[in-house]
Structure 1
Amino acid sequence: MSELSGTILAFDFGLKRIGVAVGNTLLRQAEPLTIISAATNDGKFAELSKLILAWQPVLCVVGLPTHPDGASHEMTQRCQRFSHQLQGRFSLPTVLVDERYTSAVLHAKRGERIDDHAAALILQQYFDQTR
């Protein structure tokens, strides 16, 4: 994936909200972009479609939650399904990145919507791992 060049969108998938961050392969810096809060799955994918059309990413990164020991749970499988749907619907390569510790980093901002910041941490982790 390191030979890709261009914009990357990252997602912190949740049942109620999807945090979105953006970065590019040149600067390798992630920035929070938006939070998708549509009530239905179709509504969420309509919003995602608009973002993908506007940003034209070369890659999507999705945070993969697991238990602290790395074992999967219900949200692990839901995020994997979301990643496959992104890849299938938009014909974009998709990478899963371990997000186990992003929520711990963001706990200081409790009470605020932090999903886009979590997505930025996920994307920054991707950039740091692919140097």
Structure 2
Amino acid sequence: MIIEMYVIGFDYGTKRIGVAVGQTFTATARPLTIVFVKNQQIDWQPIHALIQEWQPDAFVVGLPKYADGSDSLVTIAVRDFCQQLQARYQLPIHTIDETLSSVAAVEKILLKKKGRGKKDPKIVNLDAVAAQVILETWFSLD
């Protein structure tokens, strides 16, 4: 039996955090937005607004790893972000190896862009699509 849950996914970066939302029942996700990080300070207001809007049951955060599986330089910052999420919202946090999520996001964008004009407003930021890929990968593991 599949339990329906809403999940917010994050693709953490040192300058931008991609955000997506997904549903476990349909195992689908869609990109939402990006949140900016300035001087290593996260703008929590847009994240809080999205959490209020979607009322997620859990978070999924992409954990950057090197190809050999070892931690990358950004891994510490991602773990700190997870601790901050936990302290603020007390929801379950799942991490997943995000290796190649940006490559998959570029492929999704290029497929969507094919046949459209350069300034199509439906083309979403790469980081948000990477968060979508992170959620879709997490759904496929369950």
Q: TM-score, normalization: structure 1?
A: 0.87
**Of residues 75, 95, 114 in structure 1, which corresponds to 2:126?**
114
Return the letter of the residue paired with 1:85: Q
Q: Which residue of 1 aligns with 2:16?
A: 17
| Number of residues of Structure 1 aligned to a counterpart in Structure 2 | 127
Q: Are the equivalent residues in 2 in contact too, given 1:6–1:25 (CA < 8 A)? A: yes
Give the distance between the partners of 2:129 and 2:135, measured in 1 at CA.
10
Q: Are the equivalent residues in 2 in contact too, given 1:30–1:120 (CA < 8 A)? A: yes
Return the letter of the residue paired with 1:115: D
Measured against aligned partners, the alpha-carbon deviations of 1:60-116 in whole angstroms (never above 9, x if no partner) come to 000000111011122011111111111111111100011011122234559x83000
TM-superposed CA distance for 1:31, in Å, is 0.7
Q: Are the equivalent residues in 2 in contact too, given 1:5–1:58 (CA < 8 A)? A: no
Return the letter of the residue paired with 2:49: K
Q: Which residue of 1 aligns with 2:113?
A: none
Return the letter of the residue paired with 1:17: R
Identity of aligned residues (%): 36
TM-superposed CA distance for 1:50, in Å, is 0.9
3-state SS of paired residue (2:25)? coil
Deviates more, 1:4-13 or 1:17-26: 4-13
Q: Are the equivalent residues in 1 in contact too, given 2:16–2:34 (CA < 8 A)? A: yes
3-state SS of paired residue (1:30)? strand
- Structure 2: give runs of 5+ residues left out of the alignment: 111-123
Q: TM-score, normalization: structure 2?
A: 0.80
Give the distance between the partners of 1:16 and 1:58, measured in 2 at CA.
26
Give the distance between the partners of 1:38 and 1:54, measured in 2 at CA.
21
Give the distance between the partners of 1:27 and 1:5, measured in 2 at CA.
8
TM-superposed CA distance for 1:38, in Å, is 5.2
Give the distance between the partners of 1:28 and 1:19, measured in 2 at CA.
19
Q: Are the equivalent residues in 2 in contact too, given 1:4–1:58 (CA < 8 A)? A: no
